[in-house]
Amino acid sequence: MTQIRTDWTREEIAGLFNLPFTELLFQAASIHRENHPPEQVQMCTLLSIKTGGCPEDCGYCSQSVHADSGVEATKLMDVRAVLQSAAQAKDAGSQRFCMGAAWRNPKDRDMPAIVDIVKGVASMGMETCMTLGMLTPKQADMLAEAGLDYYNHNIDSSPEYYERVISTRKFEERIETLDHVRSAGINVCSGGIVGMGETREDRVGFVHTLATLPQHPESVPVNALIPVKGTVLGDMLADTPLAKLDDIEFVRTIAVARITMPMSMVRMSAGRESMSEATQALCFMAGANSIFTGDKLLTATNAGDDRDGALFAKLGLTPLKGEEPMRNAANGDRSDISEMEAAE
Rounded Cα–Cα distance for residues 168 and 13 (Å):
29
291 lies in a domain? yes
12 lies in a domain? no
178 lies in a domain? yes
CATH of the domain at 36: 3.20.20.70
Rounded Cα–Cα distance for residues 53 and 47 (Å):
16
Q: What is the pLDDT of residue 238?
A: 67
Identify the bridge partners of residue 292 per DSSP, sorted by sequence position: 44
Total of domains in the chain: 1
Tell me the pairing of strands 96-101 and 187-189: unpaired
Tell me the pairing of strands 127-131 and 150-152: parallel
- Residue 37's SS3 state is coil
Range of the domain at 335: 19-343
- Please report how the helices 247-260 and 277-285 are oriented relative to each other, as an axis angle in degrees rounded to 10: 20
Tell me the pairing of strands 318-319 and 290-292: unpaired
1 lies in a domain? no
- 102-158: pLDDT as tens digits: 888 999 999 999 999 999 999 999 999 999 999 999 999 999 999 999 999 999 999
Core vs surface per residue 219-246: b (16+ CB within 10 A) or e: bbbbbbbbbbeebbbbeebeeeeebebe
From the CB of residue 179, how many other CB atoms can be counted at a distance below 10 Å?
Answer: 15
Q: Which residues are catalytic?
A: 54, 58, 61, 98, 129, 189, 267
Instruction: Give the DSSP letter of residue 70.
Output: -
Rounded Cα–Cα distance for residues 87 and 61 (Å):
28
- Residue 100's SS3 state is strand
Q: Which residues of the chain are modeled with pLDDT < 50?
A: 242, 296-303, 323-344
**pTM for this model (two decimals):** 0.87
- 283-295: pLDDT as tens digits: 999 999 999 886 5
